[in-house]
C-alpha cells in the first residue's frame, strides 16, 4: 500500500521514503524519481520507535527538508493465540504500528526541526478494529489505537493540521501473503465484500484525495476502503 501510494504521489510531490529493507526501498525510490519526484531515502527499522524521532531530526536538519505531509503506512502483525503471545511480540507490533507514528509526528511538529510546515497527517488503520481477528490480538489493538490517535490529533492540531485515517479492508499485500503462507492452518477465509476485489491502488487514490486541497474541509475522519466489508469474521 505504501509503495503504491508513493508511486502515485511521485508525479506531484517530492518524497521522503522510509523502509527497513534497503534494497526494496531503493527500488521504490528509483521508480518514484523516474516520475519526476525528488526522493530522499530514510532507511530505518521502526521497531526502534524510541529512536526514530532522533534519526528523523538528524535527516531533516542535515538536508534542510521541510515536511508538509506525513503518511504512516508501516505495519506488522503476529499470528498467535493470546495464550502463546509474549510481551516482547506485542511491543514490536505496537512500536511499528503505533508508537513510531506518534514519535514521527511529535518530531515533525517541533518548530526547531520542521518549523510550521506540517499541514497534513494521514494514518492507516484497518477494519479489524471493528470486528477483530482471531490470533492477531496485538495487531487489532494497535490498529484501534491508530484510529483513536487520528481523532485525538485532529482535535488537538486543528485548524493548522488536518488529520485523517484510512481503514483498509483485505488487500493482497506482501504482508498478507506472508501471513497466509506461514500460518494457513490457523487462518480462515473472509466473506466476500459487497464490491468485487480491488487492488492497493484504491488505497493510494484515497490517500491522494485526503492529502489534496479537495479534502481541505475534512479532518478527524476514518475512511473505510473495504468494498463494503465492515464486519470481518473471526
Q: Is 135 a catalytic residue?
A: no
Host H or E run for residue 17:
strand 15-19
Instruction: Give me the catalytic one of 87, 98, 135, 139.
Output: 139
Q: Write out the three cell numbers for 19.
A: 523502509
Closest CA to 107 of 162, 40, 60, 43: 60
d(CA 21, CA 15): 17
Strand partners, 72: 123
Question: For the chain, what's the residue count?
Answer: 234
Closest CA to 124 of 105, 103, 145: 145
Strand partners, 39: 15
Q: What are the residue numbers of the active site?
A: 139
Amino acid at each position: 500500500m505504501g509503495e503504491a501510494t508513493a508511486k502515485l504521489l511521485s508525479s506531484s510531490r517530492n518524497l521522503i521514503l522510509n523502509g527497513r529493507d534497503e534494497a526494496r526501498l531503493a527500488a521504490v525510490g528509483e521508480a518514484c524519481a523516474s516520475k519526476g519526484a525528488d526522493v530522499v531515502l530514510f532507511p530505518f527499522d521502526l521497531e526502534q520507535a524510541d529512536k526514530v524521532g532522533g534519526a528523523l531530526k538528524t535527516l531533516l536538519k542535515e538536508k534542510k527538508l521541510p515536511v508538509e505531509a506525513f503518511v504512516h503506512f508501516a505495519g506488522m502483525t503476529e499470528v498467535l493465540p493470546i495464550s502463546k503471545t509474549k510481551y516482547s511480540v506485542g511491543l514490536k507490533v505496537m512500536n511499528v504500528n503505533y508508537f513510531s507514528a506518534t514519535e514521527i509526528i511529535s518530531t515533525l511538529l517541533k518548530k526547531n526541526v520542521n518549523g510550521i510546515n506540517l499541514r497534513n497527517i494521514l494514518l492507516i488503520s484497518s477494519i479489524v478494529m471493528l470486528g477483530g481477528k482471531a490470533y492477531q490480538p496485538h495487531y487489532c489493538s494497535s490498529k484501534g489505537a491508530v484510529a483513536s490517535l487520528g481523532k485525538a490529533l485532529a482535535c488537538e492540531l486543528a485548524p493548522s493540521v488536518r488529520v485523517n485515517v484510512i481503514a483498509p479492508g483485505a488487500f493482497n499485500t506482501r504482508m498478507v501473503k506472508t501471513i497466509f503462507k506461514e500460518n494457513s492452518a490457523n487462518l480462515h477465509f473472509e466473506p466476500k465484500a459487497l464490491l468485487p476485489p480491488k487492488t492497493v491502488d484504491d488505497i493510494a487514490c484515497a490517500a491522494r484525495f485526503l492529502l489534496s486541497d479537495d479534502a481541505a474541509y475534512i479532518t478527524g475522519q476514518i475512511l473505510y476502503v473495504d468494498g463494503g466489508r465492515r464486519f470481518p469474521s473471526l
